[in-house]
Amino acid sequence: MDTLHTRLKERAISALHNPLEVNDEALERACEEALELTENKPLPLTHLVDLALFRLKLFLKVEPSETDIDLASAALKKAASMRIEEGEIRGAIVSGQRESLWDF
């Protein structure tokens, strides 16, 4: 989450007309909303930043551009297309007992 927060802050400062509007409370809220909307699925960081920037602009009452809307929509579509079962852990090694070849 810290990486998302840091990348969002950098992008928001460069994207907004008034960088002084960017505060930690707004950044934190935008990050939480982006993760909530994507159901904590393991999306690429760029998609999360796009969606969080869109949420930040809404929170700060800044009109999002068409590009912002398209990027946020693409991030939500990507999250919706990812199929992850409840409780599934990605990237973990599953251990267990294998069946014996000699058991009939």
Of the candidates 20, 93, 24, 30, the one whose C-alpha atom is nearest the C-alpha of residue 57 is 30
Of the candidates 47, 60, 49, the one whose C-alpha atom is nearest the C-alpha of residue 17 is 60
pLDDT at 1 over 60: no
The confidence score (pLDDT) of residue 5 equals: 93
pLDDT tens for 22-62 read 999 999 999 999 999 998 888 999 999 999 999 999 999 99
pLDDT tens for 66-98 read 999 999 999 999 999 987 655 455 555 555 666
Is residue 40 within 8 Å of residue 51, measured between CB atoms? Answer: no
Is residue 45 within 8 Å of residue 4, measured between CB atoms? Answer: yes
The confidence score (pLDDT) of residue 102 equals: 74
Of the candidates 58, 60, 71, 2, the one whose C-alpha atom is nearest the C-alpha of residue 31 is 2
Q: Using CA atoms, how far apart are residues 62 and 68, in angstroms rounded to an integer?
A: 11
Of the candidates 64, 37, 49, 44, the one whose C-alpha atom is nearest the C-alpha of residue 7 is 49
Angle (deg, nearest 10), helices 24-37 and 2-15: 120
